[in-house]
Structure 1
Amino acid sequence: EKTKGGIYIPESAQEKSQEGTVVAVPQMDKCPLAVGDVVLYESFAGTEITQNGETLVVLKLEDILAKMKS
């Protein structure tokens, strides 16, 4: 891909967003997310943890780009 400034960016260097399903939400009055929501987040965002053999990503609300569906 070529930018407006004429710089070529190889596909391997382009940032891709990640998709995930919400499995837990903070206990706050106006949390815009619910368990089961599908969200998009930047690939570098959050912290990966392993719990019961499953890899999870802990994200801040501001790291979430979009909610896809409820």
Structure 2
Amino acid sequence: MSNAKIQPLGTRVLIRPLEQESKTSSGLYLPETAKEKPQTGQVVAIGDDESIKVKPKDKVLFAKYTGTEFKMDGVEYLLIEANDLLARLS
């Protein structure tokens, strides 16, 4: 079980999105409303389906507008279907 106290079911994957930098390369700070939706994250937990090809702690790329966002204990999470994962990042 993960430290998120949630165990995804089936082919679902629990991800903690990685935050975008709040400062641009030129040194400007971006307000929250100007930041893009994150597309990378770290796998926290996976469902019980054996076809899931990622494991906890993997860094992944996922589709931009997918899954269910929620907050637990002050931490943002995203629960998505495994087929919405696009790549494993190294």
Q: Do both proteins adopt the same fold according to a TM-score greater than 0.5, normalized to the shorter chain?
A: yes
Percent identical pairs in the alignment equals: 30
Instruction: Report Cα offsets for 1:16-52 as digits up to 9, x if no partner.
Output: 8710000000112232110000110121011101111
What residue in structure 2 maps to residue 24 of structure 1?
Answer: 45
2:68 counterpart letter in structure 1: T
Distance 1:21 1:49 in 2: 15
Which has the larger Rg? 1
Question: Paired residue for 1:48, among 43, 59, 69?
Answer: 69
Unmatched tracts of structure 1, length 5 or more:
1-15
What is the deviation of 1:66?
Answer: 0.5
SS in 1 for 2:54: coil
Poorly superposed stretches of 4+, deviation over 3 Å: none
RMSD between aligned residues: 2.0
* Alpha carbons 1:39, 1:65 under 8 Å: kept: yes
Aligned residues: 55
* Alpha carbons 1:46, 1:60 under 8 Å: kept: yes
Unmatched tracts of structure 2, length 5 or more:
1-36
